[in-house]
Structure 1
Amino acid sequence: MSDRPRFFDDLAGVAGGAFSALAGVKEEINTLVRSRVDEVLGQLQVVRREEFEVIRELAANARAASEDAEQRIGALERRVADLEEAQTAPAHATGKATPDSGEATGWSGDSSAFPN
């Protein structure tokens, strides 16, 4: 009977060693699978999630900046149009000649004033 407890101790030691070995094999398999998946993904040129999120954020920032620039350009165009209108309005109201009317040069569009 004294051999029986020792047998169970040896059996428990072997089982514990087997579990340790299996855990090591599991880790090794995980490492091999992960490296193989990374290799395949690299060949397929697949983007990782983190990289995708960064690019998506950059695109959203660029879109917002573009919309802001469009609004600012629209406001500047309206301001330029208003300033041009304000500049030409006093000339028409006072009857003064503007460079576009032809009155400043004295030419009325009649080509008979030129000799042949």
Structure 2
Amino acid sequence: MQSENRLFDDLAKLVNGAAGTLAGVGREAQSGARERAREWIGGLDFVSRDEFEAVKAMAVAARDEADALRARLDALEARQNG
């Protein structure tokens, strides 16, 4: 009976060790795949979200300024012609 329990204990340790090893291999593969994806995406000249938002804000500001200048020009032309 004692040898049977020891056999089960050894088998449980073996399975537990194998599961831990497989989990480690899985984490390592996932990490490697993420790194390769970052390298691939990095080579495609994508911009970060922060860079995109900064350029978007600059475009909005430039558009607002152009609208204000257009309104001033229209007012000056109306005053000159009227």
TM, length-normalised to structure 2: 0.68
**Could you tell me which amino acid in structure 1 is paired with residue 15 of structure 2?**
A
**Could you tell me which amino acid in structure 1 is paired with residue 12 of structure 2?**
A
Matches within 5 A, 1:1-116: 1-75=1-75, 77-78=76-77, 80-81=79-80
Q: How many residue pairs were aligned?
A: 82
Consecutive unaligned residues of structure 1, counting only runs of 5 or more, are 86-116
Q: CA deviation at 1:31?
A: 1.7
Consecutive unaligned residues of structure 2, counting only runs of 5 or more, are none
TM, length-normalised to structure 1: 0.53
Highest CA radius of gyration, 1 or 2?
Answer: 1
Percent of pairs identical after alignment?
A: 35
* Greater helix content: 2
Give the CA RMSD over aligned residues: 2.5
Which has the bigger relative contact order, CA under 8 A and spacing at least 6? 1
